Every structure is written in C-alpha cells, then in structure tokens.
Amino acid sequence: MRSCLAFCSTLLLAVPSLAQAQDLTTLRILAPATAGGGWDNTARAIADTLKKEGLRDKVEVYNVPGKAGTVGLADFVKLRGQPNQLMMTGFVMVAGIPVNGANYDLSADVTPIARLTTDYEVFVVPATSPYRTVEDLIARFRSSPGSVRFGGSSAGGSGHIAVSKLAQELGIATAQVRYIPSAGGAQATKAMLGGELDVVSAGYSEVDELIRSGQVRGLAISAPEPVEGIKLPTFVDKGLDVDVSNWRGIVAPTGLTEAARTQLILMFTRMSRTATWQQQLAQNKWSPYFSSGDNFTKFIRSQRGYVNTLLKDLNIKTN
C-alpha cells in the first residue's frame, strides 16, 4: 500500500493540473492569415490596446494562415469552452467558407463577440507600372482582359470581390479575369513587387506604408465616397459601382458560460471607446464599425445571405 501511495503521489506531481496545462491568464488571439495582413494587423492593434488600457495584462497573437481563414477556423472550433481564446474574422471568411467548401457557420460554430472595423479595398500597382491612373488600368482591362494579372486576398475574399465587381461593371466575363489569390493583401503585394502580378486589390491598411514610401502607387479605392486622409479617387467617382468594404471582428469558441461571453463583450465595448483604440483607427485608416453580442450575430447571418447572392451574381465558384 505504501509503495502504491508513493507511486500515485509521484504520478500526480508529474501530471499538470488542467489549470496548469491551460494558461488561462494569457488571452490568445488567432489571426487566421499571414503576418502583416489585415487580420494580423488588427489582432496586434487589439493586443496593444488591451494592454495599454489595462483591460488585459497578457495578450499574444499567433497566425494560422490559409484558405480565407478557414484553415485557422478548423483549428479554432476545437477550443470549445475556453474564454481566453479569440479569433479574428470578417468578410473574407464569410465568403471563404462557401468558396472553400468549409462546413462551418460563423453564427453557430463560434461565439460572435464584436465587430470592430471596416477597411476599403484599394487597387495598387508598382511604382514602375505603366498604369499611371485608374483610367489607364480600365482601358487596358477593357481592351485585353486576360493580359492583366490581378491579385489579392483568398478566392472569394474582398480583393477577389472588388476585382470581379470591376469586371462586371465593365461587361467583362468572370472567366476572362486573371485573379491569383494569396493568403492576404500583404503577401499579394509582395508577389506583385516581385513581378508576379500587375495589380493588387488590398485593404488600405495593408498597403498604406508602401504607398507613402513610393514603392507602390494607389489607383482607386472601393469606398462609396472619398475617405478622409486618403487621396485616391473612388471607383464610384468614375461611374463604376465598385463599393467593397472588408469588415473585421472578433469571435470566441462555443461552449462559454453566459458570464464569460458577457465579460468578453464588455471588454471589447470598453476597448472600442478608449483613446488608444481611436488612435489605432486613425493610424491604420480603419473606419469604426462597432457592434456586439446578439446584434453582431444577426449581422453575420445577414452577411451570409448577402455574400452567397453576391458570389452567384459574380459567377464566383463555390464548393
């Protein structure tokens, strides 16, 4: 009996408790895209704000890129009941789910917490590009659709939608559009600067520094009206209905207690009102787009219907 007790005591000391195995003091945010992209930048802005404003002491961001965020989503849904785990989501993922044949529902397989920002798509070209203006690009695209290599976020994402809407407005069949998807706008822009693409559609926040440095040239932005602080024409200004906004938000796993869900909603509500977050919005040229809890869940459901109709209208294949 004595040897058994000694063995069992040793075994218990060797095996960490559940609380020890899961570091519940650290808030972990999954950015389901490559570093430097829109989700990654937003996640890191959230982490900085929460820490600076004293809302959470420990916050870390990690990346699981692939297929419009659905690779990361597949991992995230397994974290049921863990209130210290969060994931970035948005328009790209809503569209990416049907395009990639991912069997998930963002209003049921995760817990919507808060919608935070929206970011308009901007078409950029290398500084050495022959396309000096958006009119130059439109003229070339009209005359020879297949000669323009477009790139951007994952298939079905906001970049793909923006390029497809431009084609639709110009009467160009989707089958004639050369769109090469990447894990994010930042990655696509890198490929463009390497000579693999001619034009990239990316969130403004992903290319702002490159535009300022002169490495790329912005041609037009997919906003319904001019955006303060961004000196680019809109497609609407040119008589083209290319109005695409890439909203981003945060979700938690399913299986949370109501108290844990409420605490997370309250934390992000408080964060959205802080001076630090307002500075992040201004610095990244993000438009505030806050909604939380049940209202955010309803929005996601409406987006699912809207996106499915949009993909069908633009003849973008789904699985």
HSE of 306 in the Cβ direction (CA atoms, 13 Å)?
11
Report the alpha-carbon distance of residue 95 to residue 305 in Å, rounded. 10
Cα 213 to Cα 208: distance, rounded to the nearest angstrom: 9
90 in Cβ contact with 251 (< 8 Å)? no
Three-state DSSP at 73 gives: helix
- Read off the pLDDT of each residue in 5-10 and give the average, rounded to a whole number: 44
198 with 126, same domain?
yes
Residues 60 and 45 in one domain: yes
Helices marked H in 103-203: 134-143, 158-169, 185-193
Cβ-based neighbours of 166, under 8 Å, separated by 6 or more: 138, 141, 235, 240, 242
What pLDDT was estimated at residue 173?
93
Count of the separate structural domains present in the chain? 2
Distance CA 187, CA 202 (A): 10
In a domain, 9, yes or no: no
Q: What is the pLDDT of residues 180-203, one digit of tens each?
A: 998 788 889 999 999 999 999 999
Classify residue 258 by burial, with Cβ atoms within 10 Å: 0-12, 13-18, 19+.
exposed
CA distance 37 to 70: 15
pLDDT at 256 (0 to 100): 97
On whether both 233 and 130 belong to a single domain, the answer is: yes
State the pLDDT at residue 23: 63
Q: Are 107 and 126 in the same domain?
A: no
Q: Does residue 16 surpass a pLDDT of 80?
A: no
Q: Would you say residue 171 lies in a domain?
A: yes
Which domain range does residue 85 map to?
24-118+246-313
Q: How many Cβ atoms from other residues are within 10 Å of residue 238's Cβ?
A: 14
pLDDT in tens, 196-254: 999 999 999 889 999 999 999 999 999 999 988 899 999 999 999 999 989 999 999 99
pLDDT tens, position by position, 250-278? 999 999 999 999 999 999 999 999 999 99
Same domain, 102 and 55: yes
Is the domain of 175 the same as that of 149?
A: yes
Indicate whether 105 and 250 sit together in one domain: yes
Helix H or strand E encompassing 200: strand 199-203
For residues 217 and 309, membership in a common domain is answered with: no
- Among 296, 127, 302, 96, residue whose Cα is nearest residue 219: 127
pLDDT at 179: 96
